[in-house]
Amino acid sequence: MSATAPAQAEGPSSGDLASRNVQRRAVEAVIWGMSGVNYDLMRQEMLRKTDAKVNQFLFWGRPLDWHNQTLTPNPDTLYFMAFLDTREVGPLVLDIPPANGGSLNARGAEREPEPVAGRVKAIWPGARIRVVNDLSAAGYGFLRHAHDDACIVTVSSGIGHKVFLDGKPAIGPSGRGGEIGHLRVDFSEEAPLCECGARGHLGALACGRAVPEQAVRLARRDPGAFARSSLAAPVAGQARRVDSHLVARTFKAGDPWAMALVGVLAAPLGQALAGIHAAVGVERFVIMGGFAQALGPAYLALVGQAAAASTWDFGQVWGRMLELGEMGDDAGLIGAGRLAARE
Ligand SMILES: [Zn+2]
């Protein structure tokens, strides 16, 4: 038996690695600096050549031409542009609405994690930047004091949640907390598909997006009951065409079939909330989102009944533990503002 030591390949020395590292940092600094310099030049031009001031929105009424010497000109885009300065006005909250027929920084569509904080920092080197998820931001708005416990749940075209313990969102070391919408609650073969591609997740069964599928399933169980309901005529007898608006309207009018359908939608959510309560003991659930708002307090009562039926009776009163988040679409903005003021 013989042993030979393989010849060590000549690797880069630690000095080489250090100088490569420095060079890479320098290249990054130039790349990051470019957007900062570009942005500041645009700000200076705005102040010099237009009546606009910082903290106002500048609307470019015409597509730009060759006179515009920015680094990345888009000649077919009408821009809105704002140059923000927090020195005098204090903390600012940036809320980015869904694009409607336009686009907002095309990188957003690539679904890559966007280094938002780094980009803002390049523009405002002196500012303290905090990037907050929309539901966490809303949560800060609902906390009654800096150490409050609450679970914020959104029920709209999907389902999301955030548990706040001692005033902070509990999301775990990998940031996975807040995905109750992807908890599997229906294990049947024909369980509806979730947007993530899996079957039977809460988000596919219990929110506004789940309405047509659940309507079909309920109508199949008792076609006569659906045909007699006030929902059948507006959709010409096709349960698949039942949408969340029709359900909200007929549910509020007391239609028994609509109430049964909302019961089917509320049940898995109540079960999931009972799990959260049993796991961490949180006693305040703030339900927000368009679908929950449209259905109102009677919906909360059904969620509460389902929650009560899903766990041991520890003496909890679900009617008092569930509330509708009343801030609507502004909840994230208000919460982010409160967080900024608190920090
Ligand atoms: Zn899913």
CA-to-CA dists, residue 268 to 134, 250, 324, angstroms: 24, 21, 18
C-alpha of residue 178 to centroid of ligand 1, in Å: 12
Task: Name 151's bridge partners.
Answer: 163, 285
Q: How far apart are the first and last CA of the chain?
A: 69
The pLDDT confidence band at residue 263, using thresholds 50, 70 and 90, is: very high
Instruction: Check pLDDT > 60 for residue 313.
Output: yes
> Which of 107 and 264 is assigned the larger pLDDT?
264
In terms of CATH architecture, what is 135-342? 2-Layer Sandwich (3.30)
**Residues 305, 270: contact at Cβ < 8 Å?**
yes
Measured in Å, residue 182 CA sits from the centre of ligand 1 at: 4
Ligand 1 mean position, distance from CA 208 (Å): 15
Mean pLDDT of 159-184: 93
Q: State the pLDDT confidence band at 56, using cuts at 50, 70 and 90.
A: confident
What per-residue confidence (pLDDT) applies to 82?
80
Q: What is the DSSP string of 270-330?
A: HHHHHHHHHHH----EEEESHHHHHH-HHHHHHHHHHHHHHS---S--HHHHEEE-TTGGG
The single-letter DSSP state of residue 158 is S
Q: From ligand 1's centre to the CA of 199, what distance in Å?
A: 7
Once rounded to an integer, what is the mean pLDDT over residues 287-302?
Answer: 95
Strand partners, 154: 160, 288
- The pTM of the full predicted model, rounded to 2 decimals, is 0.68
Distance 207 CA to ligand 1 centre (A): 12
Ligand 1 centroid from CA 186, angstroms: 12
Residue type for position 270: G
User: Would you kindly state where each structural domain of the chain is located, as residue ranges?
Assistant: 16-64+75-123, 135-342
Looking at the chain, list the stretches that DSSP marks H as alpha helix, in order from N- to C-terminal side.
Answer: 14-49, 86-89, 116-123, 134-142, 202-205, 211-221, 223-228, 244-252, 256-280, 290-295, 297-310, 318-321, 331-342
pLDDT number for residue 103: 53
Per-residue pLDDT averaged across 58-85, rounded? 78
What's the CA gap between 341 and 44, in Å, rounded? 30
Q: How many angstroms does the Cα of residue 33 sit away from the middle of ligand 1?
A: 39
Q: Ligand 1 centroid vs 291 CA: distance in angstroms?
A: 18
- CA 197–ligand 1 middle distance (angstroms): 6
Ligand 1 centre and the CA of 157: distance in Å? 13
More confident residue, 280 or 64: 280
Residue 215 alpha carbon to ligand 1 centre in Å: 20
- Cα of 196 vs centre of ligand 1, distance in Å, is 4
Distance in Å, CA 257 to ligand 1 centroid: 27
- H-type alpha helices, 72-112: 86-89
Instruction: Please state the rounded mean pLDDT for residues 47-55.
Output: 86
**332 — pLDDT class (breaks 50, 70, 90):** confident
Percent of the chain with pLDDT over 90: 50
Residue corresponding to tokens 């630690």: 14
State which residues have CB under 5 angstroms from ligand 1, the bound ion.
Answer: 182, 194, 196, 201
192 CA from centroid of ligand 1 (Å): 10
Cα of 7 from ligand 1 centre, angstroms: 52
- Band (pLDDT 50/70/90 cuts) for residue 144 is very high
Q: Is the pLDDT of residue 285 over 60?
A: yes
Segment 95-99 mean pLDDT: 60
Q: What is the pLDDT of residue 122?
A: 79
DSSP 8-class letter at 138: H
Q: What are phi and psi of 15, to 5 degrees?
A: -65, -40
Q: What percent of the chain has pLDDT over 70?
A: 90
Higher pLDDT: 276 or 341? It is 276
- The rounded Å distance from CA 128 to ligand 1 centre is 35
Q: State the chain's mean pLDDT as an integer.
A: 86
Q: How far is the CA of 180 from the centre of ligand 1 (A)?
A: 9
pLDDT-based confidence at residue 333 (cuts at 50, 70, 90): confident
User: pLDDT confidence of 109, banded at 50, 70, 90?
Assistant: very low
Ligand 1 center from residue 155 Cα (angstroms): 14
Residues 308, 301: Cα–Cα separation, whole Å: 10
